[in-house]
Homo-oligomer: A and B are copies of this chain.
């Protein structure tokens, strides 16, 4: 137990987390510092393309059968996380069902930045993981968004909202695949699998990854601090949910990962990645998809909860927590 605490505290001192907290502090003091939006979008693209390339290069060299069970687990988690919100958060006093389901969709969907943050910390901690784990992203992201929109639409049409007619699933899947985040990841995967991008990977994408990630953490910290005000305007249950949910989702995923570990030898590091993408909530591609898919839900509720609390908790607490657990598990 004291070993675990020590490892946990060591993770808390990582630069990734430092930059996130730096961003929160800077924005809390009302600084005029702002990273231009075009830079933010380029960094997002860079990080996801790089993660995709890493995964693609790995997939080119690996046995694809391995990915089957973890991908199935990712799909299951994406769906179940939305249903958890539907049957817990939505039942709380003062919470509208559409808002709760949208929140569940965002927490089921995946954050590219959080995924970007866990990988170098696993490297630093020396915890091995299958390099294709980044490819699990869309397997959790898309089912979560689809489930949230379907569940919300069914509920709303049963409760007299005539505007939401029959829900078509394919457009949601398509929109999700066409979103800039998922496209960048899939493009990287395809380039990693079908071309030989090693020269450009070694001179550009790999060396600059930690740097752009640190800038991204500052941006996300500033964003979290700014969203905090929006969150104050909605029911406090969102804040409570956003704090607890990453742990619940993470432990669920970590447990499923350990089952696959027993069955097929899926690594502990892979279990951490699965747990962290389950703990994460979508910051880039999720919000516009949900805004379009569940127009009656209140973005202040679901985006506020996710950005102001969910993401910092996932990065600052869940990443060190699950890496710490992986380190004390019997090898």
* A183→B29 CA distance, assembly (Å): 10
Given the known interface contacts A36-B41, A45-B35, the answer about A205 and B197 at a Cβ–Cβ threshold of 8 Å is no
* A259→B30 CA distance, assembly (Å): 39
Q: How far is the CB of A20 from chain B (nearest CB, A)?
A: 10
Interface residues of A (CB under 8 A from B): 13-15, 17-19, 22, 25-26, 29-39, 41-42, 45, 120, 124, 177-180, 183-184, 187, 190-191, 194-200, 203-205, 207-208, 210-214, 218
Among all A-B residue pairs, the 5 with the closest Cβ atoms: A204-B211, A18-B195, A36-B38, A31-B183, A33-B183
Q: How far is the CB of A215 from chain B (nearest CB, A)?
A: 8
Q: Report whether A207 and B203 are in contact in the complex, using a CB–CB cutoff of 8 Å.
A: yes
Known contacts A15-B196, A32-B180, A204-B211, then 18 further A-B pairs from the complex at CB < 8 Å, ordered by chain A residue: A13-B195, A15-B197, A15-B200, A19-B191, A29-B177, A31-B183, A33-B187, A35-B42, A37-B38, A187-B218, A197-B214, A199-B210, A200-B213, A200-B214, A203-B210, A204-B214, A205-B211, A208-B211
CB contacts (< 8 Å) of A211 on chain B: these are 200, 203-205, 208
Copies of this chain, tallied across the complex: 3
Q: Report whether B13 and A187 are in contact in the complex, using a CB–CB cutoff of 8 Å.
A: no
* A213→B197 CA distance, assembly (Å): 12
In the complex, 21 of the A-B residue pairs with CB atoms within 8 angstroms, ordered by the A residue number, are A13-B196, A14-B196, A15-B196, A15-B198, A15-B200, A18-B194, A18-B195, A18-B196, A22-B187, A25-B190, A31-B178, A31-B183, A32-B178, A36-B41, A38-B39, A124-B199, A200-B214, A204-B207, A204-B208, A204-B211, A205-B211
Q: How far is the CB of A177 from chain B (nearest CB, A)?
A: 8
* A190→B29 CA distance, assembly (Å): 14
CB contacts (< 8 Å) of A30 on chain B: these are 178
Residue of B nearest to A46 (CB): B215
Given the known interface contacts A184-B33, A196-B13, A208-B211, the answer about A18 and B191 at a Cβ–Cβ threshold of 8 Å is yes
Residue of B nearest to A48 (CB): B33
Q: How far is the CB of A49 from chain B (nearest CB, A)?
A: 8
CB contacts (< 8 Å) of A34 on chain B: these are 41, 180
CB contacts (< 8 Å) of A42 on chain B: these are 35-36, 39
Q: Report whether A33 and B15 are in contact in the complex, using a CB–CB cutoff of 8 Å.
A: no
